[in-house]
Amino acid sequence: MTKIKYQPVIGLEIHVELNTKAKMFCHCLASHFQAKPNQNVCPVCLGLPGAMPYPNKLALYKTLVIARLLNCQINPASSFERKHYFYPDLPKGYQLTQYIKPLGYNGYLQIEDIKYPIRRVHQEEDTAKLKHQIVNGQKLSLVDFNRSGVPLVEIVTEPAFSSARQAVVFLKTLQKLLRFHQVSDCDMEKGSMRLEANVSVKKASDAKLPDYKVELKNINSFKFTAEAIDYEIKRQIKLLEKSKAIPQQTRGYDPKLKRTFPQRQKEEAHDYKYLLEPDIPPIHLPKSWLEETKNLTPANQLLQEWINKGWPESVVKILFTHFDHLSWWRKLEEQIIKKQIDRKKLGHFLLKNKSRYYLKPASQLVQDFLAGQHVVDDSKLLTQTIDQIIKDNPQAVEDFLAGKQQALYFLLGRLRYKIGNVDAPKVIKMIKDRLTKLKTSSNSLT
Ligand SMILES: [Zn+2]
């Protein structure tokens, strides 16, 4: 009997917190990392009765940017709905989300030759955070509402991945893209990027998708995502081989045991009873926004553009991972044009000193680069300085006279330290001539 071949079917749901200053529906600060519990709260994000939400424009703009970057169709007119469920992290009893008309839909993210389809990109609000701890010997769950109402974007892919590796390459590319365009920090440790993978397995010969999916939740690194998906695929194939049905389920991942475990049975979509939010009028994206975001260039295209402009390819590929903010590169490019800087030389200079300029303004890099490019060519100053360093470094002089050519480079270094950048071959020759002269005169004395 031939063995049945199975094929994994994987879809991804990614939540990213937008890096706006304010929350989604109120003026509270959105930054919740390292804030004191319940520091940034108001009646809106606490869900008090009668509080009126008002959408954050910048958050909607950034969501539009994400939808554009993922090549989505755009719904210029949309709305917010209430997604009902009961959980202590949700004081209103519902979460505001875009269910009926997501801001973006039917998009894709291209990685090399593959276009991974994106089902939807929509705006929603984050929930509060639960902290389980022991207070006065009692096990308690405490609620911190700082995160409640932080602007969140959900990106849902089609079940288009067939391996953990493929899914992780997609996630890493997405993270880079969103960071590059400064819409989200996408920091998994801080929870500003959260991943869920829907995994099922079908017979390779089946055209239809499986009628169940297992949702892997609360995984906080790419490595664990890959491990959890791999484990889940193996677990499901084993069950299928025994002709057992696989229940629709939410599972977590235990990185120590390297296995997934059941959390709860998954709610069906209709359990949420979506209702139109009556306190927020319909959303109409301004025409100017739609125009502005029309031709956003994804990071990989930008990379090519920079290479075409004359940046060395090897340099740009390394630097893009280090200096991954679009505005940083734009500012640098402005200076390059204004000051007519050679991109090749600047690129190599930056590569050599990349840790020095990390998180520093592009203007500082340009300033230092230009200072380093300036070549001191004053013959009188050079002669005087050479005499001085010869006097100050008798050991190096002795080494040279003993035949050690390396001493010349030591002296060149001393000279550069004193007066800055010089034409090295020319100055080496000058030092050599001076030392040879010294040698001749000392020989003639003996
Ligand atoms: Zn608030």
Nearest to 123 by CA among 323, 291, 303, 280: 280
CA 27–ligand 1 middle distance (angstroms)? 6
User: Cβ(362)–Cβ(335) under 8 Å?
Assistant: yes
CA 161–ligand 1 middle distance (angstroms)? 38
CA 179–ligand 1 middle distance (angstroms)? 26
CA 39–ligand 1 middle distance (angstroms)? 10
- The answer regarding whether domain 379-445 maps to CATH 3.40.190.290 reads no
CA 368–ligand 1 middle distance (angstroms)? 44
CA 38–ligand 1 middle distance (angstroms)? 10
| Cα–Cα distance list, 387 to 12, 123, 232, 378, 411 (Å) | 69, 70, 74, 14, 11
CA 128–ligand 1 middle distance (angstroms)? 11
CA 288–ligand 1 middle distance (angstroms)? 29
**Which pLDDT belongs to residue 446?**
46
CA 327–ligand 1 middle distance (angstroms)? 30
CA 129–ligand 1 middle distance (angstroms)? 15
**Which pLDDT belongs to residue 342?**
86
CA 1 to chain centre: 49
CA 96–ligand 1 middle distance (angstroms)? 14
CA 133–ligand 1 middle distance (angstroms)? 25
CA 26–ligand 1 middle distance (angstroms)? 5
CA 126–ligand 1 middle distance (angstroms)? 12
Pairing mode, if any, of strands 94-97 and 249-254?
A: unpaired
Nearest to 123 by CA among 162, 96, 161: 96
CA 55–ligand 1 middle distance (angstroms)? 12
Instruction: Enumerate the domain spans of the chain.
Output: 6-284, 297-373, 379-445
CA 290–ligand 1 middle distance (angstroms)? 29
Nearest to 63 by CA among 158, 178, 176: 178
CA 61–ligand 1 middle distance (angstroms)? 20
Write down the pTM of the prediction.
0.74
**Which pLDDT belongs to residue 424?**
84
From first to last of the 446 residues of the chain, give the pLDDT tens digit.
567 899 999 999 999 999 999 999 999 999 988 889 999 999 999 999 999 999 999 999 999 999 999 999 999 999 999 999 888 899 899 999 999 999 999 999 988 889 999 999 999 999 999 999 998 999 999 999 999 999 999 999 999 999 999 999 999 999 988 988 889 999 998 999 999 999 999 998 888 999 999 999 988 899 999 999 999 999 999 999 999 989 989 999 999 999 999 986 645 556 788 999 999 999 999 999 999 888 776 666 677 777 888 888 777 777 766 666 667 778 888 888 888 888 888 888 888 887 778 778 888 888 888 887 777 888 899 999 999 999 999 999 999 988 898 899 999 889 888 887 788 889 999 999 998 888 777 665 54
CA atoms within 13 A on the CB side of 343: 20
